């Protein structure tokens, strides 16, 4: 018998540590080679690590939420034959775990009824008590609407009109107490770290606009009605992606990263669009790469592929990295505006709201047009207000005259 000590592997792309988000094995469990043992979240994605050997779990290093450094032992096994470790080298002696204590406090509904306490005498005036006694009404079954739950004459009237205590009862007034501590771990912590980094380091400014997408809607409906078998149904996003290809070519300063340490703006030739995607596990930003080389249908197909992978948890590191500009869509939720936070180290982000019919003035007449609102945010350290506004205006021009997107 021997001891096999397994070190946190190098997951790639410069990752130096990972957060434990789930253990799949307990101490004493028998595992086979390639059985899943541990889920680790890096800055890019969640990775399931398989067992390197057949054996019995001897020790585990780190609880859910702990940070494990690459190259340090995270688990050890009792195996048949010679191992690679001695008793002294097993995880108990290694100090590589970082404890994170970030917590958020939320209210826990722990009701304490103030208007009625079991065994306590209902609050009511002598006149109300006399009337209730004469009418045969049990005051314990009546909800009081007065101060501290005091029963009033009108409460008796409501009780009698409803014909039953259940029907007469309105919303109960209850004082809530107690708290629940929810550790901020896994993807939630990565989102928190990224948002804090973005908002604390980037000098944001935002710009809003309305775009008349009436003609675009007609084109979208026509293409969807005549699409080939197996082709995806088009939303507005593939058109916006295609319009951004042209817009970012005209304003290359917006398709860039800002290296804070070197104070260098890195403009990208490729247009790799991150698509902010809400999933059951939190917010991911899968990337459609080289949009400049795609047509409308290819955009739609690739967007569905990468966002689908993010939603079902199959997105690999290459899907979740490499964006040069990000689109975030509130979809049907709509809203009048927002101030999206830039996806660091990018220098801009575009927010898309829902499109809806609105009354607008055209040539002195009130007409119904389909209007889409957009919000954008820019890194004012390196993108002037004029530059960010110009990109939005270029986008507006293409979307309001959609034939020009393809010229």
As separate numbers, helices (DSSP H) first and strands (DSSP E) second, the chain gives 8, 21
232: its two tokens: 């995806």
Contacts of 40 (CB under 8 A, 6+ apart): 8, 11, 18, 19, 20, 21, 46, 47, 49, 68
Smallest Cα–Cα separation from 35: which of 44, 23, 43? 23
Q: Which residues pair with 22 in a beta bridge?
A: 39
381: its two tokens: 């350290």
Residue with the two structure tokens 């829902």? 354
Give CA–CA dist 148/313, Å, rounded.
51
Please give the distance of CA 334 from its chain centroid, rounded to a whole number.
16
Please give the distance of CA 66 from its chain centroid, rounded to a whole number.
21
Cis check: omega of the bond before 147, within 30 degrees of 0: no
Helix, strand or coil, per DSSP, at residue 378:
strand
List active site positions: 380, 384
Give CA–CA dist 316/306, Å, rounded.
10
Q: What angle do CA 112, 116, 120 make, to 5 degrees?
A: 115
Q: Which residues pair with 39 in a beta bridge?
A: 22, 48
Residue with the two structure tokens 């595992």? 31
Q: What angle do CA 247, 251, 255 make, to 5 degrees?
A: 90
Give CA–CA dist 73/149, Å, rounded.
61
244: its two tokens: 């951004």
């Amino acid at each position: 018998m021997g001891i096999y000590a397994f070190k946190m592997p190098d997951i790639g792309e410069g990752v130096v540590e990972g957060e434990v988000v789930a253990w799949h094995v307990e101490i004493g469990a028998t595992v086979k080679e390639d059985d899943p043992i541990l889920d680790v979240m890096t800055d890019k994605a969640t990775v399931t690590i398989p067992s390197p050997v057949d054996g019995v779990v001897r020790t585990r290093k780190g609880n859910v939420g702990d940070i494990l450094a690459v190259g340090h032992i995270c688990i050890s096994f009792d195996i048949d034959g010679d191992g690679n470790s001695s008793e002294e080298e097993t995880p108990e002696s290694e100090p590589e775990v970082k404890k994170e204590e970030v917590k958020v406090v939320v209210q826990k509904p722990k009701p304490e009824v103030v208007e009625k306490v079991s065994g306590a005498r209902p609050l009511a005036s002598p006149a109300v008590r006399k009337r209730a006694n004469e009418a045969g009404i049990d005051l314990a079954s009546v909800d009081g609407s007065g101060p501290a739950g005091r029963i009033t004459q009108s409460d008796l009237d409501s009780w009698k009109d409803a014909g039953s205590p259940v029907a007469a009862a309105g919303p109960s007034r209850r004082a809530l107490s107690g708290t629940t501590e929810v550790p901020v771990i896994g993807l939630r912590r990565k989102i928190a770290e990224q948002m804090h980094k973005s908002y604390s380091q980037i000098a944001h400014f935002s710009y809003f606009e309305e775009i008349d997408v009436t003609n675009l809607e007609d084109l979208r409906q026509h293409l969807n009605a005549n699409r080939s078998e197996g082709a995806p149904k088009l939303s507005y996003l593939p058109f916006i992606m295609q319009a951004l290809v042209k817009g970012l070519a005209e304003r290359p300063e917006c398709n860039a990263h800002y290296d804070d340490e070197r104070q260098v703006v890195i403009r990208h030739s490729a247009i790799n669009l991150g698509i902010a995607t809400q999933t059951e596990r939190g917010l991911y930003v899968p990337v459609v790469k080289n949009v400049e080389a795609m047509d409308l249908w290819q955009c739609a197909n690739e967007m569905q592929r990468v966002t689908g992978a993010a939603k079902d948890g199959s997105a690999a590191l290459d899907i979740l990295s490499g964006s040069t500009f990000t689109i975030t869509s509130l979809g049907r939720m709509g809203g009048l505006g927002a101030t999206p936070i830039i996806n660091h180290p990018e220098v801009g982000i575009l927010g898309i709201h829902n499109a809806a019919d609105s009354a607008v003035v055209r040539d002195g007449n009130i007409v119904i047009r389909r209007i889409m609102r957009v919000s954008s945010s820019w890194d004012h350290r390196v993108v002037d207000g004029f530059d960010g506004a110009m990109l939005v205006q270029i986008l507006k021009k293409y979307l309001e005259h959609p034939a020009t997107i393809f010229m």
